[in-house]
Amino acid sequence: MAWREDGDALVQDYEFPDFAAALAFVNGVGRLAELHGHHPDILLHGWNKLRLTLSTHSEGRVTDLDRRLAEAIDDL
Alpha-carbon Rg for the chain in angstroms? 12
The mean pLDDT value for 11-36 works out to: 98
**Global pTM value:** 0.94
- Binning the chain into helix, strand and coil, the percentages to the nearest 5 are 40, 30, 30
In the prediction, which pLDDT does 74 show?
97
CATH number for domain 4-74, candidates 3.30.1360.20, 1.10.1740.10, 3.20.20.70, 3.30.70.260:
3.30.1360.20
| 60, pLDDT greater than 80 | yes
| Amino acid in the structure at residue 33 | A
User: In whole angstroms, what separates CA 51 from the centre of its chain?
Assistant: 7
Parse the chain into domains and list their residue ranges.
4-74
